[in-house]
A and B are shown apart, each in its own frame.
Chain A
Amino acid sequence: MTQLVTGKKTRFATAWLGGCSGCHMSLLDLDERLIELFQAADLLYSPIADIKEFPRQVDVTLVEGAVANVDHLELARQIRERSHIVVSFGDCAVTGNVTSLRNRLEVDDLLSMVYREGPGREPRGREGDGILPALIPRVLPLHQVIAVDAFIPGCPPDPDTIWEAVSALLHGAPVRLKQEMRYFG
C-alpha cells in the first residue's frame, strides 16, 4: 500500500453482493471527490463498470452487501485471494442488515413464500436450476466468510464517511473513523 508514495496508482475495486446497491449510490455521491479518487486509483472492477472477471492483484476492494448465495461465496473467495485489503462497505456487508432479516426462515419456506405461493405468475420448473444461484442457509456478514481488514458501517454510509475511509486507504493508512461516522444504520 505504498502506491501513492511511489507515484503508482492504487488498483481499486468495488463489489456488490446481497444488498440494495445503496452503498454504491452513496459512493457516487462523493461528487467532485470522485475525480480526486480516480486520479489516485484505477477502478478495475465494479458493478458500475461492465467487467466480468474479478481481476488479480487488487490493492483495495470495497464490498457492499451480505453473503446470501453460492455466487456471493465464490466472489468473496476470489476477492479475498486477489485483494490486498478487503473492506466491508455498508451495514449489509458489516452486519447482514436487511438482507439477513430472512435468517429466521428456512430457505425452502422462504422460496415457497416468495416464489411458489407469492403473487404473480408461477415460475416454471425448479426456480433454482441453473438460473438463480442457490441460497445458503443463513445470510452472513462478510467477515464471517472471509477475513476483512476494515469496516465502514452505515445504511448507507455517508459520503463523508466513505471519503474518510477511502482517502485513508489511498494513503496506505488504517481506517479510523470518527465516532459520528461509526453508527450502524
Chain B
Amino acid sequence: MNRPELQAMGERERERQQSYRCRLLCCASTPCLSSGATAVIEALKQFVKEQELDADVLVTATGCMGPCSRGPLVTVQTRDLEDVVYEHVTPELARDIALAHAAPEPRALERNLLAADSPFFAKQKKVVLSNSGLIDPERLECYVARGGYGALANALREMTPVEVCEAITRSGLRGRGGAGYPTGLKWDLVRKAPGTRKFVIANGDEGDPGAYMDRTLMESDPHRVLEGMAIAGYAVGAEQGYIYVRGEYPIAAKRLENAIRMAERRGLLGGRVLDSSFSFRIDIRIGAGAFVCGEETALMASVMGRRGQPSPRPPYPAQSGLWGMPTLINNVETFGNIAPIIDNGAEWYAAIGTDKSKGTKIFALAGTVATTGLIEVPMGISLREIIFDIGGGIPNGRAFKAAQTGGPSGGCIPAEHLDTPVDYDSLRRLGSIMGSGGLVVMDDTSCMPDVAKFFMEFCMDESCGKCVPCRVGTVQLHRLLEHITNGSATPRDMETLEELCVMMQETSLCGLGQSAPNPLLSTLRYFREEYQAHILERTCPAGKCTMDHVPPLEQGAELQRRSRSTTSDSEVS
C-alpha cells in the first residue's frame, strides 16, 4: 500500500459510516465488558436484525469512553441529532435506545443520559484517546478513516529521522511511564548510538494498583500505539519492535495481535512499509505477572527470555539494551502521543500544558469519587478540577482527605495542596510523582498508616529479591507498619522506620526499591499526627485499624488478661 491508497481507504470508510442514519457505539473495554456490555451489544445487533435495519443502523463495539463506573456505556450518533451518551445500559434499555434513535423521527431518550456538556467531558482534552470510544479497535479501516497511519506516511515521505527526533524534542513530550525523561532526547540518543541493529520496545506492563491507562489505549486504539512505534523505529533506525503486554491483559494482547496482522497485510508494517525502503516488524511479548518487569532493564531481560529482574544502570538501554544492542524503550502512552505530534506539529503540542510538562496526561481516576474512570487532561490542570469537576467530588457527604498519585512509587497529596497544578515537577515537589497515571481519591475514612501499609505490602510482594535493601527492607517496613496499625509499635519503631526508608531510597538497585518508601514518607510528611496517635495514644483516628495488640513489654499483662478471660469463660461453661 502507498500513500494515495491509504487515503482512499480512509475515504471509503468515511463514506460507509456516513451512509448510516444512526450509529450505535458500545464500549467494549474491560470495565464495560465486566459490567455486561457483551449482552448489550448482542441485544442491539439482534434488534437491527429483527427490524431489518442493516442498511440504516450500524452497531459498533468500540473502545473506552471514560466514565467507567457508569458502564456499560453507549454513544449514539444520529443524523440531524446531537451525539448522546447513555450510562448503565441494560439489554432492555439498549432496545429502547435503538428504537428511539432509529425511528423515522429520531429522538433521544430521557433516561440514563450522560450530558455531553457535563464537566466530566468538558474539562478533558483528548489527544492520545482522540479515537478511543469512537472507532472499532478491531478494524484497521476505522483507524485509517480518522487519519490513522497518516503521520507514519508523512514521516517516511517528508521527514528525515533527524527531523522526526527534532520534532519530538520540540514538542516537549516527556516519558509517560512516570519518570518523565524527555522523549526526543532519548530517541536522539538511540539514533546516535553506534550499532547496525537496534530495537524499539513499547512498555505495556502497567501494574500500579487501580491504574489502567495503557490497557485502555491498547484495547481501544491499538493502531495508535503501533504507528507511534513505527515512527520511532524510523527515527532511531530500528527494524524490530516489541510490545510488552502485561499477562493480565488478554483483550489488549488479542487486539494488538489482530492489529499487527491487519497492518502487516496492508503493508503498513512489516517489509517496505508504505512502499518505502523502511521495514519494521512488531512482535508481542506477554508478561508473566511480575510488577518489576515494568522496570526497563527487567522488562528487557524478560523479552530476552531471562528471569525478569533489573540490572544496574549504566549501561542504559540506549547504549546497550536487548542482546546488547541500542534499544529505545518508551511507555505505550508515550507512543500514543507520537502520531498527533507529527500530524499537528510540535508547536501545536507544545502549546498544550505547562512550561515544563507539555501535552496531556491520561489518569485512571479511582477511589472514593462520584465518577471513576479514565480521563485525559491537559498538564497543569489542578487536582481540585480533576476530583471535584471531572470526578464529581466525594460521594456520601464525606470529606476529601488525600489523593494518591503514582501508585506504589508515588505519594499522597492532602487537601491543602488540591490547587497544585498537575505536572511532573509540582507533584515531585509535593513528595509524590506523576507516575504512569493512577489517581486514587481517599475520603476521611481512610487511615494513612493503613494506606502506607497497603502500598508497602504491594512492594514487598513485587520485590524481585535481587538486592538486599528492597528484598528485606520492604518486609521490615511492612512489619513496622503492621505494628503501628495493630497497636504494638513503640516510639523507637518510628526512628527505625524513617531511617530504613531513606536507606532503601539510596541503596536499592532499581526504581522499585528506591521508590517503595515514597507512599510511606509522603503520608508521614502530611499526616504524622496520625502515626503518633497510633503509637502514643494507641488509637486509630480514622477508626480503621483494629489496634488489638500491645507493645512487647506489655505482653505479660495482656496474656494474663486473656488467660483470665478464657478461664472465666470455661468456668461459666
Touch test A–B (CB under 8 Å): yes
**CB neighbours of A137 from chain B (8 A):** 555
- Residue B559 at the chain A interface, CB threshold 8 Å: yes
**Min CB–CB distance B573 → chain A (angstroms):** 16
- B residues 514-573 near A (Cβ < 8 Å) are 552-553, 555-556, 559-560, 563
Are B552 and A70 within 8 A (Cβ)? no
Of B553, B560, B563, which one neighbours A76 at CB under 8 angstroms?
Answer: B553
Q: State the CA gap A80–B413 with chains docked (Å).
A: 42
Number of A-B residue pairs with CB-CB distance less than 8 Å in the complex they form: 28
**A134 CA / B492 CA spacing, docked (Å):** 26
B553 near A70 (CB under 8 angstroms)? no
Q: Which residue of B lies closest to A76 (CB)?
A: B553
Residues of the A chain whose Cβ atoms lie less than 8 Å from the Cβ of B559: 70, 134, 136
A133 (CB) vs chain B CBs: closest residue: B556
Q: Is the interface of B mostly helix, strand, loop or mixed?
A: helix
A73: B residues at CB distance < 8 A:
552-553, 555-556
Q: Which of A67, A74, A134, A136 contacts B563 (CB 8 A)?
A: A134
Instruction: Report which of A74, A128, A134, A144 forms a contact with B552, defined as CB distance below 8 A.
Output: A144
Q: Smallest CB–CB gap between A148 and chain B, Å?
A: 11
Q: Which residue of B lies closest to A147 (CB)?
A: B492
Instruction: Report B503-515 CB contacts with A as 1/0, cut-off 8 Å.
Output: 0000000000000
Tell me, in angstroms, the Cα distance from A182 to B553 when the chains sit together. Answer: 27
A129 to chain B, nearest CB (A): 9
Question: Is there a chain B Cβ closer than 8 Å to A77's Cβ?
Answer: yes
A163 shortest CB reach to chain B, Å: 30
- Pair B556/A145 contact, Cβ less than 8 Å: no
Q: Are B555 and A136 in contact (CB under 8 A)?
A: yes
- Chain B residue at minimum C-beta to C-beta distance from A136: B555
Return B259 CB to nearest CB of chain A, in Å: 52
A128 to B560 CA separation, bound complex (whole angstroms) = 11
**Whole-angstrom distance from the CB of A33 to the nearest CB of chain B?**
34
Bitwise, A57-79 to B at CB < 8 A (1) or not (0) is: 00000000001001001101100
Tell me, yes or no, whether A140 is within 8 Å of chain B by CB: yes
Report the Cα distance A139→B497, complex, angstroms. Answer: 22
B223 to chain A, nearest CB (A): 55
What is the bound-complex CA distance between A136 and B563, given in angstroms? 12
A145-B492 Cα distance, complex, nearest whole Å: 11
CA distance A145 to B556 in the complex (A): 12
In the docked arrangement, what's the CA distance between A1 and B559, Å? 37
Q: Check if A146 is an interface residue, CB within 8 A of chain B.
A: yes
**Could you tell me which residues of chain A, from 26 to 62, have a CB within 8 Å of some CB in chain B?**
none
Total count of chain B residues near the partner, CB < 8 A: 8
A15 to nearest B CB, angstroms? Answer: 16
State the interface size on chain A (CB cutoff 8 A): 15
Q: Chain B residues with Cβ under 8 A from A146's Cβ?
A: 553
Tell me the nearest residue of chain A to B551, going by C-beta.
A145
Residues of B within 8 A of A67 (CB): 552
Residues of the A chain whose Cβ atoms lie less than 8 Å from the Cβ of B553 = 73, 76-77, 145-146
Contacts of A134 in B (CB 8 A): 556, 559-560, 563
- Compute how far the CA of A128 lies from the CA of B552 in the bound complex, rounded to whole angstroms: 20
- Nearest-CB distance from A35 to chain B (Å)? 37
A151 to chain B, nearest CB (A): 16
Report B-chain residues with C-beta under 8 Å of the C-beta of A74: 556
Across-interface contacts of B556 in A (CB, < 8 A): 70, 73-74, 134, 136
Q: List A contacts of B552 (CB < 8 A).
A: 67, 73, 136, 140, 144-145
Residues of the A chain whose Cβ atoms lie less than 8 Å from the Cβ of B560? 70, 134
Alpha-carbon gap, A120 to B323, bound state (A): 66
Q: Mark A136-166, 1 if CB is under 8 A from B, else 0.
A: 1100100011110000000000000000000
- A76 neighbours in B (Cβ, 8 Å): 553
Bound CA span A77–B552, Å? 11
Query: Complex: how many Å from CA A144 to CA B553?
Result: 9
Alpha-carbon gap, A77 to B556, bound state (A): 11
Q: Contact flags (1/0) for A108-144 with B, using CB distance below 8 Å?
A: 0000000000000000000010000010110010001
Closest to A135 in B: B559
What separation, in Å, do the CA atoms of A74 and B552 have in the docked complex? 11
A140 to B556 Cα, complex, angstroms = 13
B492 CB contacts on chain A under 8 angstroms: 147
Nearest chain B CB to A72 CB, angstrom units: 9
A135 to nearest B CB, angstroms?
9
Measured CB to CB, the closest approach of chain A to B229, in angstroms, equals 51
Min C-beta distance of B488 to chain A, whole Å: 11
Q: Distance in Å from the Cβ of B559 to the closest Cβ of chain A?
A: 5
- Chain B contacts of A128 at CB under 8 A? 563
Q: Which residue of B lies closest to A128 (CB)?
A: B563
Closest CB in chain A relative to B490 CB, distance in Å = 9
In angstroms, Cα B553 to Cα A109, docked, is: 23
How far is it, in angstroms, between the C-alpha of A134 and the C-alpha of B555 when the chains are bound? Answer: 10
Cα distance, A145 to B560, chains bound together (Å): 18
Interchain CA distance A137-B555 in the complex, whole Å: 9
State in angstroms the CA–CA spacing of A180 and B552 once bound together: 32
Cα A147 to Cα B493 in complex, Å, equals: 12
Q: How far is the CA of A152 from the CA of B12 in the complex (A)?
A: 85
A70, B552: Cα distance in complex, Å? 10
Nearest-neighbour CB distance to chain A for B395, whole angstroms, equals 41
Please name the residue on chain B nearest to A74 by beta carbon.
B556
CB distance from A139 to the nearest CB of B (A): 11
Q: How far is the CA of A77 from the CA of B553 in the complex (A)?
A: 7
Q: Smallest Cβ distance from B484 to chain A, in angstroms?
A: 15
B65 CB to nearest chain A CB (Å): 53
Report how far A70 CA is from B553 CA in the complex, Å. 9
Once the chains are docked, how many angstroms separate the CA of A144 from the CA of B556? 15
- In the assembled complex, the CB of B113 is this many whole angstroms from the nearest CB of chain A, namely 59
| Bound complex: CA A118 to CA B559 (Å) | 25
Distance in angstroms from A70 CB to nearest chain B CB is 4
Q: In whole angstroms, how far apart are the Cα atoms of A76 and B551 in the complex? A: 14
**Minimum C-beta distance from A130 to chain B (A):** 11
| Cβ distance A10 to chain B, nearest Cβ, rounded Å | 26
Closest Cβ of chain B to A51, distance in Å, is 22
Contact with A along B335-363 (1 / 0, CB 8 A): 00000000000000000000000000000
What distance in Å separates the Cβ of B392 from its nearest Cβ neighbour in chain A? 47
Q: Which of B489-503 contact A (CB under 8 A)?
A: 492
C-alpha spacing A67/B559, complex, angstroms: 15
Min CB distance A88 to B, Å, is 15
Q: Which of chain B's residues has its CB closest to A72's CB? A: B556
Q: Which residues of A contact B555 (CB under 8 A)?
A: 70, 73, 136-137
- List 5 A–B pairs whose Cβ atoms lie within 8 Å, in order of A's numbering: A70-B560, A77-B553, A128-B563, A134-B563, A140-B552
Binding site for B on A (CB under 8 A): 67, 70, 73-74, 76-77, 128, 134, 136-137, 140, 144-147
Q: Which 4 residue pairs are nearest across A and B when measured between Cβ atoms? A: A70-B556, A73-B556, A145-B552, A134-B559
**Given A67-B552, A145-B552, A145-B553, 13 extra CB contacts under 8 A:** A70-B555, A70-B556, A70-B559, A70-B560, A73-B555, A74-B556, A76-B553, A77-B553, A134-B556, A134-B563, A136-B552, A136-B556, A140-B552
